[in-house]
């Protein structure tokens, strides 16, 4: 991709107050885009959105994507060239506690974005982010392809599968013959500096290590496609650019993740964190406190490799190193947001250099 592609382009990011959304916003800010952010207020303390001062870098809007009338008005008035839809209720444990909220956000909010795109007079490229958990997970060793069966037991996974089904329906019924270009992106487990969501392995471990407390690990042998957030962010950007260039991929879905031989167990992450934080302690729970949790989830990403020329550039060691470096720098400079912002931008530039952009 060309690093100048998004310069002065009008881009809407929903979910810009979240972990991935904040990183995507910072990357596009570095690339010179004109950004409108639409999201609920940050729901974690600390918050990457607040640490990086993103509110002052974008046209900021705190609103609920389930409010269709207000959402439409904001998006249509901005006349975007691109929309990246990331806003969602992203946590499985919260989906069990608040299933109705999860379905509202992840399906109705998702549909509201598509309905609004249909009303845009200006041509728009739209990337809708769902999840690797949209697949009916039978722990398929070879990895799920984009045509595999969708489904999910927990409300989060089921709502993401439903969003993908609604996307196909809307595309074939309305969007296929419109001027707009649209696709969905399904990414595996993402790590990186600035994630403070409880119930995720890295934030839980870092928070407890910093407080010199023991973290409880619910499934020490589970395997996941861990990847750095910046790799996924550039995957989304690359998908948007390819959509604009190749209309044959319009209406398609794409997996983003490491190869199956790069899947890492939770236990390996714990050992690596211990090297950075020698006082880090953990204890493995005998049984998981999360319903219906699976041990293995692998994506087949050959489609992204073929059509988007996308692949992970960072191995697991480098991915975790970048993540832990960010958190260590944060705790050393947590009273200096400017320093942390510059450090984050430095990591972005390092990755841009790696891509030879």
Stronger pLDDT, 170 or 286, i.e. the higher one = 170
- Provide the whole-model pTM: 0.95
109: Cβ–Cβ under 8 A, 6 or more apart, which residues? 64, 65, 66, 87, 88
Domain ranges for the chain: 10-192+226-264+297-318
Q: Which fold has domain 10-192+226-264+297-318?
A: Rossmann fold (3.40.50)
Task: State whether residue 121 is helix, strand or coil.
Answer: coil
* Residue 188 pLDDT > 90: no
Identify which of 94, 92, 86, 90 has the alpha carbon closest to the alpha carbon of residue 65: 86
Angle of the 109-119 helix axis to the 155-170 helix axis, nearest 10: 20
Give me the pLDDT at residue 294, please.
60
Across 164-168, 222-226, 353-357, least confident range? 222-226
State the Cα–Cα distance between residues 138 and 295, nearest whole angstrom: 10
State the Cα–Cα distance between residues 43 and 192, nearest whole angstrom: 18
State the Cα–Cα distance between residues 324 and 313, nearest whole angstrom: 18
Q: How confident is the model at residue 155 (pLDDT cuts 50, 70, 90)?
A: very high
* Residue 220 pLDDT > 90: no
Over the stretch 240-279, which tens digit does the pLDDT of each residue have?
A: 999 999 999 999 999 998 876 667 788 888 988 888 888 8
State the Cα–Cα distance between residues 353 and 356, nearest whole angstrom: 5
Mean predicted confidence (pLDDT) in 225-230: 90
Task: State whether residue 294 is helix, strand or coil.
Answer: coil
Contact 239, 146 (CB under 8 A): no
**% of the chain beyond a pLDDT of 90:** 74
Contact 89, 95 (CB under 8 A): yes
Longest Cα–Cα distance in the chain: 59
State the Cα–Cα distance between residues 125 and 103, nearest whole angstrom: 25
């Amino acid at each position: 991709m060309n690093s100048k592609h998004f310069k002065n382009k009008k881009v809407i990011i929903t979910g810009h107050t979240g972990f991935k959304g904040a990183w995507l916003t910072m990357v596009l800010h570095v690339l010179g885009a004109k950004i409108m952010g639409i999201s609920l207020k940050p729901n974690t303390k600390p918050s990457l959105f607040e640490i990086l001062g993103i509110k002052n870098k974008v046209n900021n809007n705190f609103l609920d994507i389930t409010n269709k009338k207000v959402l439409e008005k904001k998006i249509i008035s901005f006349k975007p060239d691109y929309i990246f839809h990331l806003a969602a209720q992203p946590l499985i444990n919260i989906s069990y506690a608040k299933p109705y909220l999860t379905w509202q956000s992840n399906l109705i909010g998702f549909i509201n974005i598509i309905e609004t795109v249909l009303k845009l007079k200006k041509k728009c490229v739209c990337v809708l982010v769902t999840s690797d958990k949209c697949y009916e997970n039978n722990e398929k060793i070879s990895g799920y392809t984009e045509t595999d069966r969708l489904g999910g037991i927990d409300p989060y996974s089921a709502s993401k599968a439903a969003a993908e089904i609604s996307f196909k329906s809307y595309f074939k019924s309305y969007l296929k013959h419109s001027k707009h270009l649209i696709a969905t992106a399904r990414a595996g487990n993402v790590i990186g500096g600035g994630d403070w969501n409880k119930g995720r392995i890295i934030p839980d471990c870092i928070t407890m290590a910093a407080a010199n407390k023991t973290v409880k690990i619910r499934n020490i042998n589970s395997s996941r496609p861990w990847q750095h957030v910046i790799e996924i962010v550039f995957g989304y950007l690359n998908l948007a650019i390819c959509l604009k260039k190749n209309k044959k991929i319009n209406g398609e879905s794409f997996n983003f993740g490491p190869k199956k031989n790069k899947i890492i167990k939770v236990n390996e992450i714990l050992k690596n964190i211990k090297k950075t934080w020698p006082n880090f302690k953990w204890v493995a729970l005998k049984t998981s406190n999360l319903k219906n949790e699976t041990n293995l989830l692998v994506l087949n990403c050959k489609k992204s490799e073929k059509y988007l020329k996308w692949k992970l550039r960072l191995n697991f060691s480098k991915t975790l190193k970048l993540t832990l470096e960010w958190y260590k720098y944060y705790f050393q400079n947590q009273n200096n947001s400017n320093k942390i912002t510059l450090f984050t931008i430095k990591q972005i530039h390092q990755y841009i250099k790696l891509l030879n952009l």
